[in-house]
Amino acid sequence: MDLTIISTFRCNSRCQMCYIWKNPTDPKEEVTLETLAKLPAGFDNLNISGGEPTLRKDLADMVDLLHPKARIIEISSNGLHPERLLPIIKKHPKIKVRFSLEGDATTSDCIRGEKDGYATKVAGLRMLQEAGGQDLGFAFVIQDENVAQLVRTYELARSMGFELATSTLHNAWQFYKNDNYFYERVAVARQVEGLITAMLKSNKPKNWFRAYLNLGLIEKILGHPRLIRCSAGTDFAFIDPWSDVWACNVRSDLPLGNLARQSWSEIMASDAAKNSVAKVHACQQNCWMVTTARTAMRSTLVPQAPKMGPLIWVLKNKLKVELGRAICFDQYIDYSNVAPTPRVQRTSFLNEKQKARLVRGRETVDARYPLKEFMNN
């Protein structure tokens, strides 16, 4: 099982597609190390995320605590405080670190509302590389404003010896957003095709399967059903800053339990978990985030191996690319069927004075996630 720990909702970025920064948590209310110590060992990918995890003073201790409990520990950071990750990388060089980067300096800083963010994260990731970091990369949220720079950012990452993880706009409780819509779905989707081809041309099998993940992103962008059924609550789960455990980070009606009050085994065997997993089986959303997609692609018999569908697609199209032939995307994607969406303008918060207001004592789910409806279609 994969697990994401949303360690805090505090964040020092001011992104246009994620409003976590407007909803900071009180550090006193955030999931503690004592609570996280209750997690069993045996997770596959355990992601320490946020908000911005480097704002947690106990991040290094958290990594030490969680390191023996998972095959892969990942830290998803905005990269604005790379120096805080330096001692962690020196101690655990194999830890996976991803810094959010949304294209070139102007575009990335504009989308993320970060003054000099691009320069800080590029220099910061290099610093972690020089310190011995072995699994470093950027994470790119595909949207209308930056999709033209997608392939260039991939090539830049490769030239520096880094990975590029991709995701796209989602509405989700984790992001405090329910109005993230593409302006031009087809135009965005067509640009992702270039990344898929570039990834299949690489010599890294990891990139070939990322190409398939990006095929799923095209379906998501166009508003089509998911490529593979979701297995939230069974193959992956999320812990929010209040120690609540959720089947996924999109729907706020899929609770599993609370790790501060229950043991992990109690949570997984609870009626709440059974109810939420039943709802997952009927879920009609077309979300396609890395966690949900990566786990969906895995074989149910041999979890380290891919399912047959993605494997065949990858082999077929890798061969095609090697032979110098173009991938016929229209064979896989129905571009004539594109879901309509409202146009809700996203605005940059760069150079805007935006103060986050801390609301203490949010006791209920309604108080914590007041938007309630998070639809991806």
> Which 8-state DSSP code applies to residue 93?
T
How far apart are CB 287 and ligand SF4 at their closest, in Å? 4
- Considering CB under 6 A, how many residues would be counted as binding ligand SF4? 11
Region from 33-41, 148-156, 247-255, 330-338 binding ligand SF4, contact rule CB under 6 A? 247-255
63: contact with ligand SF4 by CB under 6 A: no
For residue 237, the cross-strand partners are 3
How far apart are CB 32 and ligand SF4 at their closest, in Å? 26
How far apart are CB 122 and ligand SF4 at their closest, in Å? 31
Instruction: Tell me the torsion sign for CA atoms 221, 223, 229, 234.
Output: positive
For residue 337, the cross-strand partners are none
Buried b (16+ CB within 10 A) or exposed e, 62-95: bbeebeebbeebbbbbbbbbbebbbebbeebeeb
CB-wise, 46 or 283, nearer to ligand SF4? 283
251: contact with ligand SF4 by CB under 6 A: yes
Region from 97-105, 158-166, 242-250, 255-263 binding ligand SF4, contact rule CB under 6 A? 242-250
> Whole-angstrom Cα distance, residue 314 to residue 227?
14
CB-wise, 210 or 251, nearer to ligand SF4? 251
Q: Residues 201-240 vs ligand SF4: string with x where CB under 6 A? A: -----------------------------x-x--------
Site of tokens 């992001």: 175
> Whole-angstrom Cα distance, residue 30 to residue 26?
7
Amino acid at 125: L
How far apart are CB 281 and ligand SF4 at their closest, in Å? 9
Region from 10-18, 23-31, 83-91, 248-256 binding ligand SF4, contact rule CB under 6 A? 248-256
Region from 124-132, 147-155, 212-220, 243-251 binding ligand SF4, contact rule CB under 6 A? 243-251
CB-wise, 89 or 280, nearer to ligand SF4? 280
180: contact with ligand SF4 by CB under 6 A: no
Region from 73-81, 198-206, 246-254, 360-368 binding ligand SF4, contact rule CB under 6 A? 246-254
Q: What is the rounded (10 degree) CA torsion for 268, 274, 277, 282?
A: 180
How far apart are CB 370 and ligand SF4 at their closest, in Å? 18
> Whole-angstrom Cα distance, residue 230 to residue 252?
16
CB-wise, 141 or 151, nearer to ligand SF4? 141
Footprint of ligand SF4 on 275-314 (CB under 6 A): 280, 283, 285, 287, 292
> Whole-angstrom Cα distance, residue 122 to residue 138?
9
Q: Which positions ≥6 away from 105 have C-beta within 8 Å?
A: 118, 119
E strands of the chain, at which residues? 2-6, 43-49, 70-77, 96-100, 135-142, 163-168, 236-239, 244-246, 255-258
Q: What is the rounded (10 degree) CA torsion for 374, 375, 376, 377?
A: -170
CB-wise, 77 or 286, nearer to ligand SF4? 286
Pairing of strands 135-142, 2-6: unpaired
Nearest to 71 by CA among 375, 315, 294, 325: 294
CB-wise, 136 or 290, nearer to ligand SF4? 290
How far apart are CB 208 and ligand SF4 at their closest, in Å? 24
CB-wise, 59 or 169, nearer to ligand SF4? 169
Interacting residue ranges for ligand SF4, rule: CB under 6 A: 230, 232, 247-248, 250-251, 280, 283, 285, 287, 292
